[in-house]
Amino acid sequence: MDEYLDLDRRFSLRTTYTADQLLASDVLGKRLTWNNVLAGNFSVIVGRANFGKTMEIKAKSKALRAQGKPAVYVALHKVLGEDDIQDALEAGDREVLSAWKQSSGELIAFVDSLDEASLGTEDGIQKALRRLSKALDWPNSDVRWVLTSRPAVLTQDVLELLVAELRTTLYRVARKNSSDDEEFDTAFAEMAAASEDDIEDEQEIPQVEGPDWAIGDVASANAASKTENKAPTPEQLKVYALLPLDKAGAAHYLGSHLGIPQPKETLSAARQYGLGRLAEGPGGLDMLAYIDPVQNPPQYLTQVFAKLVEAVQQQQRTDPRERRVGSPPPESLEEAIERLAGASAICQLPNIELSPKALRYRDGVLSARPIIASLVSEQSLEYLLGSRLFIDSGQHQVKLYPDDLVPFLAAKRLGSLVKGCGLRIMCLTVALSPKLVDLLPELCPSSGGLRQCA
């Protein structure tokens, strides 16, 4: 992307790091801007697969460079694959890095992403970070770190690894009583107000008599109110959730980036067909544009799901990650997805283990490897579970997305086993999820028969 497409992405500061908190996308509270993220020295942006993290940080690094600020984009998996970090960078980033090394200024390093460096284990993350730190002469140099990760990978162990490698501490908020809550809200409001300043001002630590709550640990506000001349709190690692696109941002992406002539109508049609969540991020909007429900409205419900799977398959063929895992046959990937959906629906286990090392069965979690190991390699399995048909659902866990796709794919799998026709697949789909028959009754031919199937 040569030009920064401003989608007005917003962020939410996480103060607890449970799987539920990292996965939540409808958090109430402050919707923070890029200025807040770039105010600290250590930030992690967390968002599910294909949610727009890479697009945002690549574009943001270019936008900052256009303003004369040294910023580089680093693909962490390439750092592992190259002997010289210069070979892991694109031409523009190499030039910026070389010029920065000749100066004594600050560098903003956008590091993408922890999950691609090592899916489910910390070894790759640690090796890549140490190699990158050595190349940047960290911690002797002035580097502002902005990393990305899927929530499923950002476990407590990985967070501990990050704070150890970056030589910092993890941001936490301690609440003891209602008065503490009031002071926390006040301190947070001050932090949000500070974000209105230009980014140049935010990148410098103000010299004040007391701690700077916009930069330090806001939880220490209570202690600071009772203790004078306290030293400023050191920078901490903060985790920001990338929030879903709002309607304006989604329409802007459809119209300006994908060339959809009726973006607002397309978003409305997506909600009508039960695909509203596709509008939450660029990856889903890419699929929605391929389906194009306004120009090519589906004739029946299962056609919606068939187009959705077809959209993902088309995108996978142009995904560079697919080439890195040996370009597995599309037929194998399709059958693997259907097998997982069938097992998930029949066993009533939506969550699928993300780690390729998981051979044992855990209560409440589906192990993918024993189910599809005969179809795809271990690397292909990792790639498949990171594709646009899966979203993060827990630590080291994903699930098929959207939810209503599961009964359709499961029905295709079961239908193939009994050599069923199209109508049988539709009946199986509704049997696995009866609510679907009421989703769009006008799209279901012979809806009375389908209700009998249910």
Dump pLDDT digits (tens) for 225-250: 433 444 455 789 999 999 999 999 99
Looking at residue 325, what is its pLDDT?
62
Rounded Cα gap, residues 87 and 97, in angstroms: 12
* Residue of 129 and 211 predicted with greater confidence: 129
Task: Among 219, 242, 265, give the residue marking a domain's end.
Answer: 242
Assess whether 327 and 427 both reside in one domain.
yes
By percentage, how much of the chain surpasses pLDDT 90?
Answer: 39
Looking at residue 298, what is its pLDDT?
87
Structural domain containing residue 327: 298-453
Rounded Cα gap, residues 368 and 385, in angstroms: 9
Q: Predicted confidence band at 118 (pLDDT cuts at 50, 70, 90)?
A: low
The segment with the largest mean pLDDT, out of 232-236, 263-267, 304-308, 314-318, is 263-267
Which CATH number characterizes residue 45's domain? 3.40.50
* Residue of 220 and 87 predicted with greater confidence: 87
The segment with the largest mean pLDDT, out of 64-78, 189-203, 316-330, is 64-78
Looking at residue 379, what is its pLDDT?
78
3-state helix, strand, coil in the chain (%, to 5): 50, 10, 40
Q: Predicted confidence band at 343 (pLDDT cuts at 50, 70, 90)?
A: confident
Whether residue 230 lies inside any domain: the answer is yes
Judged against a pLDDT cut of 50, whether residue 293 lies above it is answered with: yes
Tens digit of pLDDT for each residue in 381-421? 877 887 778 888 887 888 988 787 888 888 888 777 765 55
Assess whether 69 and 214 both reside in one domain.
yes
* Residue of 430 and 450 predicted with greater confidence: 430
Looking at residue 214, what is its pLDDT?
37
Whether residue 186 lies inside any domain: the answer is yes
Task: Among 224, 242, 260, give the residue marking a domain's end.
Answer: 242
Mean pLDDT score, 97-107: 93
Looking at residue 443, what is its pLDDT?
35
Question: Which pairing describes strands 390-394 and 397-400: parallel, antiparallel, or unpaired?
Answer: antiparallel
Looking at residue 14, what is its pLDDT?
93
How many domains, the chain? 2
Q: Predicted confidence band at 128 (pLDDT cuts at 50, 70, 90)?
A: very high
Q: Predicted confidence band at 99 (pLDDT cuts at 50, 70, 90)?
A: very high
Rounded Cα gap, residues 411 and 432, in angstroms: 8
Whether residue 281 lies inside any domain: the answer is no
Mean pLDDT score, 162-186: 71
Q: Predicted confidence band at 302 (pLDDT cuts at 50, 70, 90)?
A: confident
Judged against a pLDDT cut of 80, whether residue 453 lies above it is answered with: no
Whether residue 132 lies inside any domain: the answer is yes
Whether residue 376 lies inside any domain: the answer is yes
Q: Predicted confidence band at 139 (pLDDT cuts at 50, 70, 90)?
A: very high
Tens digit of pLDDT for each residue in 354-379? 765 544 456 788 888 888 888 988 77
Assess whether 306 and 188 both reside in one domain.
no
The closest of 365, 378, 316 to 49, measured between CA atoms, is 316
Mean pLDDT score, 324-329: 70
Mean pLDDT score, 420-442: 50
Assess whether 312 and 233 both reside in one domain.
no
Judged against a pLDDT cut of 70, whether residue 445 lies above it is answered with: no
Judged against a pLDDT cut of 70, whether residue 426 lies above it is answered with: no
The DSSP symbol for 104 reads -
Give residues with Cβ within 8 angstroms of 421, minimum separation 6.
415
Rounded Cα gap, residues 296 and 20, in angstroms: 37
Please, what is the average pLDDT of the chain? 78
Looking at residue 247, what is its pLDDT?
95
Whether residue 275 lies inside any domain: the answer is no
Judged against a pLDDT cut of 50, whether residue 205 lies above it is answered with: no
What is the layout of strands, in order, in the sheet containing 352-353?
352-353, 397-400, 390-394
Question: Which pairing describes strands 169-170 and 236-242: parallel, antiparallel, or unpaired?
Answer: parallel
Judged against a pLDDT cut of 70, whether residue 267 lies above it is answered with: yes
Mean pLDDT score, 288-303: 89
Whether residue 250 lies inside any domain: the answer is no
Looking at residue 195, what is its pLDDT?
46
Assess whether 321 and 203 both reside in one domain.
no
Of 103-107, 324-328, 376-380, 394-398, give the lowest mean pLDDT range. 324-328
- In the numeric block, the tokens 């917003």 are attached to 10
Task: Among 242, 261, 280, give the residue marking a domain's end.
Answer: 242
Whether residue 41 lies inside any domain: the answer is yes
Assess whether 209 and 303 both reside in one domain.
no
Assess whether 307 and 222 both reside in one domain.
no
Half-sphere exposure of 82 (CA within 13 A, CB side): 15
Assess whether 73 and 220 both reside in one domain.
yes
